[in-house]
Chains A and B, each alone.
Chain A
């Protein structure tokens, strides 16, 4: 794979190229037609599904968002961008957006080191490795609703957590975990971290499996310490995995709903509301489907713009083959 080899190969490579097939110009039209037909036949079902279930709903939602519509009967009067302006100027929606951003930051700052650390630890040959892996991953497999109900019971005033804290002599630190306006969002972040750090871990573990052991061995032979090998070899090679996890994590954090909805309903006083709980409250519960559609479209745009920018500026390196070049 050395650069010098390329020159040596130059001549033989040319000889190795098979002679082009002799194809009469008049017959070339047929395979092209056939290829096009194949394309249409193979792509059409997927394309139809994509248009029908992805593009069309987005367009329809954007259109619905331009109407004052209760969700019953035909679309109400056309209102242009009125709903969109109203959403963006609503302090509750802005507050919900800020909550989502806090959740995004918290998930990166907490889950990434936690997931990565656990993955590095559980990638080693230690006793009970399989058991520990399962244990750490188990919360992610639980249905979100189950997680929410379970934590709801644990966090009740005078509930399990409070009892444990009391028994441990920490009674003075007991808080109203779900009723304190200043605390409830962070309580939710703990629950979300508990549920999702296993996902970060399993992804990092998979990434670690893909890094050849020889590289670390070679580094060790060259006198690198374990820490140096991790920092200079393992982590850079884990880059693509980390970047993908980051993407999934951010998009997921922007859409958090289930746990929050069940545990707090976005309350008290919107202290734990997220963009999607706002959507459900203002779209479904208030029978304002025009307004709700506008909220949905805005959430979509936020996620979509993030996704595009992330693909363009962060993930591009991975798709370009940055990895192989770095290794080579």
Chain B
């Protein structure tokens, strides 16, 4: 069906993907030793919205104060990073700076030998970022630096809640289910979810696990890459009961989370659904997907509700953050200086103003424009424990297997037990 291909080409197609993809078109900083001029390529996931502009401004401003350093911004779709980073790090020409989410995923990348250890170069200023920077450490070494922090919770439309007669956001799972019924009665899709991308499904299952499992159990599960504790199966059973009420939009299995007006974010942005369980970046994702000027004032936030009888803390949050790593061929001091610049208060204020997340540098917190985001930040600070997204906290292969198993479960093809079994299989492979 595909175009002209001979057997020999078939061979290349099948193997070149693995063997040759390393020769990617972009990436690779070049240093001109005679002049000391450096060009750094920078892979970011900001392909649209204000953050894209903020990064471009940051690159330009940094060049103005460091004339020898030119930074070339190369935005990539968020989903492209998982497929583009491995071959890039295997090549001799990786991007100099790239998006880094820390955790087990970062740890998986370290053996490439291409991820720069920034411990020394960042020692003078990393303290400003606070304890959050620890999620970007592997064995005590700082391989990445966060620029923002994330908390997952419910983003909802106040106007649609009001239309359904809901006065206060739900605080318990039972209330959430009651509200779903009210919304459906008002012919409003209660909850949008972007199951096509798999990880939004994982947010659901993980939050149920957070409410069912005590903090010590969660910590042990992350450390041992082991979900055998009974509370994880219990979480799945609770989720099954919740999903039986059909709270999601029709066709949610094919819905992307962030791309286009038909995505789950687009649905909430355009008033086609009342809420979605997403990260604090959601207002930034929604803005370009709608022409609704009042979006920000219509958006409200509430944390994942408590589950009656659950052994987990009702205030534990699921989160993570975005950051960057430098690669070793890059001119490391220049790259580290740039990351320091990104975490400086003036740039952090701009990042915050772009509604993409909570500032990594707490000094920029007052710049949060949305009242809802201030609420998120307060909630995050007060949380007794912030659990990193499971797929980032686990080694990548296990994290991906978990996301796939949860997505399969969402499609009605799995059981609470099959999710746990998949993780133990992926770990032992």
Contacts and interface: CB of A to CB of B under 8 A. Distances in A.
Contacts of B13: 255
Given A72-B86, A267-B253, A248 B5 contact: yes
Contact of A248 (B4, B407, B412): B4
A160 B404 CA distance: 30
A303 interface: yes
Given A61-B15, A179-B253, A264-B196, A156 B262 contact: yes
A207 interface: no
B407 A284 contact: no
A287 B397 contact: yes
Interface residues of A, number: 71
Contacts of A291: 429
B244 interface: no
B7 interface: yes
B388 to A, nearest CB: 17
A129 to B, nearest CB: 24
A240 interface: no
Contacts of A265: 196-198
Interface stretch (B61-69, B105-113, B163-171, B284-292): B105-113
Interface stretch (B16-24, B125-133, B328-336, B343-351): B16-24
A303 B7 contact: yes
A73 B82 contact: no
B262 A267 contact: no
Contact of B254 (A184, A248, A288, A293): A184
Contacts of B7: 251, 303-304, 307-308
B255 A256 contact: no
A104 B408 CA distance: 25
B139 to A, nearest CB: 15
Interface string B34-61: 0000000000000000000000000000
Contact of A286 (B11, B251, B397): B397
A285 B113 contact: no
Contacts of B255: 179
B107 to A, nearest CB: 10
Contacts of A285: 82-83, 400
B19 A159 contact: no
A227 to B, nearest CB: 29
Contacts of A283: 17-18
A252 B2 contact: yes
A161 interface: no
A287 B18 contact: no
Interface string A177-204: 1111100100000001001100100000
Measured as residues with beta carbon below 8 angstroms from the partner, the interface class of chain B is 35 or more
A57 interface: yes
B1 A252 contact: yes
Nearest to A74: B111
A58 B3 contact: no
B89 interface: yes
A284 B15 contact: no
Interface in B394-420: 396-397, 400-401, 404, 407-408, 410-414
Nearest to A55: B11
B261 to A, nearest CB: 9
B18 A269 contact: no
Interface in A51-95: 53-58, 60-61, 64, 68, 70-74, 86
B112 A72 contact: yes
B368 to A, nearest CB: 33
B385 interface: no
Contacts of B260: 153
B8 A178 contact: no
A291 B197 CA distance: 22
Nearest to A293: B18
A125 to B, nearest CB: 29
Contacts of B186: none
A319 to B, nearest CB: 14
A300 interface: yes
A176 interface: yes
B33 to A, nearest CB: 28
B14 interface: yes
A13 to B, nearest CB: 39
A268 B10 contact: no
A33 B86 CA distance: 49
Interface in A277-320: 279-281, 283-289, 291-293, 296-297, 299-300, 303-304, 307-308
B404 A72 contact: no
B15 A58 contact: yes
A253 interface: yes
A72 B18 contact: no
Given A103-B1, A176-B251, A73 B10 contact: no
A270 B112 CA distance: 31
B1 A281 contact: no
B195 interface: yes
B10 A304 contact: yes
B250 interface: yes
Contact of B17 (A253, A269, A279): A279
A231 interface: no
B174 interface: no
B324 to A, nearest CB: 18
B411 to A, nearest CB: 3
Contacts of B197: 265
B188 to A, nearest CB: 15
Contact of B83 (A72, A86, A284, A299): A284
A111 interface: yes
Contacts of B221: none
Contacts of A153: 260, 262
Contacts of A256: 1-2
A293 B410 CA distance: 29
Contact of A267 (B10, B14, B112, B411): B411
B14 A296 contact: yes
B302 interface: no
A293 B17 CA distance: 9
A179 B251 contact: yes
B11 A58 contact: yes
Interface in B279-330: none
B5 A72 contact: no
27 contacts: A54-B11, A57-B20, A71-B90, A72-B89, A72-B108, A103-B1, A107-B1, A140-B3, A153-B260, A177-B254, A195-B1, A196-B2, A248-B4, A252-B1, A252-B2, A255-B10, A267-B198, A269-B412, A281-B400, A284-B86, A285-B83, A286-B401, A289-B86, A292-B18, A297-B14, A300-B11, A307-B7
Given A181-B413, A248-B3, A279-B17, 5 more contacts: A61-B18, A269-B413, A280-B83, A296-B17, A304-B7
Q: Please name the 9 residue pairs, one residue from A and one from B, whose CB atoms are nearest each other, closest first.
A: A73-B111, A252-B2, A269-B411, A268-B253, A179-B254, A72-B112, A178-B254, A179-B251, A252-B1
